[in-house]
Amino acid sequence: MTDRAHLSLGDAQYEFPVVEGSEGERAIDIRDLRQRTGHITLDPGYANTGSCESAITFIDGERGVLHYRGIPIEQFAAEPNFVEVAWLLIFGALPTAEEYAAFAADLTRHANLDEGMKHHFEGFPRAAPPMAILSAMINALSCFHPELIELEDAERFRMAAARLISKIRTIAAYAYRHSRGQPYIYPDPRLRYVPNFLHMMFAQPYVEYDCDESIVRALNLVLILHADHEQNCSTSTVRMVGSSGANLFASCAAGVCALWGPLHGGANVEVLDMLERIHGGQLTVEEYVRLAKDKDSKVRLMGFGHRVYKNFDPRAKLLGEVAEELLAKLGVKDPLLDVARRLEEIALSDPYFVERKLYPNVDFYSGVILRAIGIPTNMFTVIFAIGRLPGWIAHWWEQRSEGSRIARPRQVYVGNTGTDYLPMERRS
């Protein structure tokens, strides 16, 4: 017999069904709670709230497990191919050779931006944060591709997804070029997804960018490890915005804004700042750890802790290994990697972090890798966004296909009651 959950409220007894996911996760289905009991649940930060059923990504935070469509992420590390993983997440299965070739060709064909879009970059100040430009320009795609606003069928959705995944790297690279006052470099149709991005970032009209294969592999893996993470803040934002019927571009632009925050994707920038402060001699590792434990300091050990992972973050483990490998391959000695290793060692043996189950997360080592590739710190969160985009698209479509209701949480009101409007002259 299926389990039932029992709730007593005063003299009344209620029963609610318990649903079980394909990996054994159990949830009490309370969708008719208010209708039957007159009560709502209160769960700030949604730590105990399942907002949907989803078949895209599975996380077991206690065991440090992350699967995309059932496949453990470690299995993508041998031959990392971000385009393949993007297809997998969005369409539910690994692509066949024909599907892959057609998708890759689509990504190549649509890498250019409308020339009209290019002029928008000119309006932004040089010092504009690239995440602001990214969000604005993804939203602007709605203006330049009105035919992709209504996505009535799977084919049209596929077209929109391919254009967005292709164009986000062009937008990102143009934002960077603009900040440097450098000419925009058009995409090169002979290049694959990641080398093409690096070409648009680093080539000059008169000098080709020589792309090291170890950099291509590392960046592919970085993008893959960021590609989805179930109902995180930005993905929930994309779903929330999409639930109102907003188009794919608008919903993903909102996702970029959510990702920007320092507690979410913006943490990779903060990690680098922290490592640089320590390396620059402003603080020792021990002093930083002491500050991070002091609640009055408002300092956190950036790149540490996670809402879901309470053992280790499998992405951090892979990225730590990639950081070592890449630096060795490129012959780079980055003192920040040593600082990161020492911080990790000290924090992992400190009861404060052990008791709270705080471990390095995806952002802890990604910055060291991006730095070795030559990506400037203010572009780190943009790289996270390029990686996370397939996840946002997959969730947007899953929700749209299921015809879900508009997302609309409730609240417990704790403000004034029975207050009267006062004319200005009677207010003290």
DSSP per-residue string spanning 279-310:
HTTSS-HHHHHHHHH-GGG----TTB--SS-S
**Of the residues 228, 313, 334, 363, which is catalytic?**
363
Instruction: State which residue, 141 or 379, has the beta carbon closest to ligand CMC.
Output: 379
Question: What's the min distance (Å) between Cβ of 358 and ligand CMC?
Answer: 5
Supply 302's token pair. 């950036």
Q: How many CB atoms lie within 10 A of CB 272?
A: 24
Helix (H, G, I), strand (E, B) or coil at 57: strand
Q: How many CB atoms lie within 10 A of CB 249?
A: 23
Q: Give which of 6, 18, 14 is closest to 38, Cα–Cα.
A: 14
CB 57 within 8 A of CB 67: yes
Name the closest residue to ligand CMC (Cβ). 305
Helix (H, G, I), strand (E, B) or coil at 333: coil
Query: From CA 413, how far away is CA 1, in angstroms rounded?
Result: 39
Instruction: State which residue, 95 or 391, has the beta carbon closest to ligand CMC.
Output: 391
Count CA atoms closer than 13 A to 321's CA, side-chain side: 10
DSSP 404: P
Name the strand (E) or helix (H) holding 5: strand 4-9
Query: From CA 220, how far away is CA 169, in angstroms rounded?
Result: 13
CB 384 within 8 A of CB 315: no
Catalytic residue list contains 350: no
DSSP per-residue string spanning 152-176:
-SHHHHHHHHHHHHHHHHHHHHHHH
Question: What's the min distance (Å) between Cβ of 267 and ligand CMC?
Answer: 3
Query: From CA 76, how far away is CA 221, in angstroms rounded?
Result: 8
Residue 134 vs residues 9, 148, 203: alpha-carbon distances, Å: 49, 19, 20
Question: What's the min distance (Å) between Cβ of 299 and ligand CMC?
Answer: 8
Question: What's the min distance (Å) between Cβ of 316 and ligand CMC?
Answer: 9
* Phi, psi for residue 19 in degrees, rounded to 5: -105, 150
**Of the residues 306, 313, 334, 395, which is catalytic?**
306
Q: Rule CB under 6 A: which residues touch ligand CMC?
A: 45, 232, 263-265, 267, 292, 300-307, 356, 358, 361-363
Q: Where are the alpha helices (DSSP H) in 42-150?
A: 82-91, 97-109, 115-123, 130-144
Instruction: State which residue, 38 or 44, has the beta carbon closest to ligand CMC.
Output: 44
Catalytic residue list contains 420: no
Supply the residues annotated as catalytic: 306, 363
